[in-house]
């Protein structure tokens, strides 16, 4: 399964310089918006586990900065390995698999609101790729850890 992730990740195209610059310029405000969106969800504690809201906010900032580096210097193997590591690490801390879908949906909505159409269209394939592959990342993560919320 990991080999298939790499094959499809290699099809993603690095965003252009203008898009990378726009993403970087708006990164901090988009992270703030992401935190607001997720903190206002009535099911957030179910998705991230008790006492994990600060960890969730750290994840949002780390995610945005990681994606900034992916857009700057795209290496498919790093994307796959890092996303898999994140799934394992956060799932072992009781984040449910539903969090990832909610998070990726929220990022896409925030990007649509904040980024130019051309920038949005250049980064959207990365988010669609991550979203489509959530079940594979879940499966691979479950092979490595025992997480209480790993089956939903």
Tens digit of pLDDT for each residue in 77-120?
Answer: 999 999 999 999 888 888 988 999 999 999 999 999 999 999 99
Is there a domain that residue 148 lies in? Answer: no
| Tally of domains within the chain | 1
Is there a domain that residue 31 lies in? Answer: yes
Task: Quote the pLDDT of residue 144.
Answer: 55
Is there a domain that residue 25 lies in? Answer: yes
Is there a domain that residue 149 lies in? Answer: no
Q: Which domain holds residue 53?
A: 2-8+17-142
If phi > 0 it is left, if psi is from -120 to 50 it is alpha, else beta; for residue 49 that is left
* E strand or H helix that includes residue 63: helix 53-72
What three-state secondary structure class fits 95?
A: coil
Is there a domain that residue 98 lies in? Answer: yes
Q: Cα separation of 131 and 7, whole Å?
A: 16
CA dihedral 84, 86, 89, 91 (to 10 degrees): -80
Is there a domain that residue 151 lies in? Answer: no
Q: Cα separation of 66 and 79, whole Å?
A: 9
Say if residue 121's pLDDT is above 50: yes
Q: Chain centroid to CA 111: how far?
A: 13
Tens digit of pLDDT for each residue in 37-79?
Answer: 999 999 999 999 889 999 999 999 999 999 999 999 999 999 9
pTM for the model = 0.89
C-beta separation of 85 from 11 below 8 A = no
Is there a domain that residue 33 lies in? Answer: yes
Is there a domain that residue 147 lies in? Answer: no
């Amino acid at each position: 399964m990991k080999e298939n992730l790499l094959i499809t990740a290699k099809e993603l195209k690095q965003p252009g310089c203008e898009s990378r610059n726009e993403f970087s310029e708006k990164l901090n405000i988009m992270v703030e918006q992401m935190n607001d969106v997720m903190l206002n969800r009535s099911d957030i504690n179910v998705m991230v586990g008790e006492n994990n809201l600060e960890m969730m906010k750290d994840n949002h900032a780390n995610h945005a900065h990681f994606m900034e580096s992916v857009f700057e210097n795209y290496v498919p193997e790093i994307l796959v390995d890092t996303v898999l590591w994140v799934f394992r690490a956060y799932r072992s801390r009781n984040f449910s698999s539903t969090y990832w879908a909610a998070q990726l949906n929220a990022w896409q909505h925030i990007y649509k609101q904040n980024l130019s159409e051309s920038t949005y269209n250049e980064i959207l394939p990365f988010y669609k790729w991550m979203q489509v592959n959530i079940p594979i990342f879940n499966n691979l993560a479950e092979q490595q850890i025992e997480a209480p919320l790993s089956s939903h």
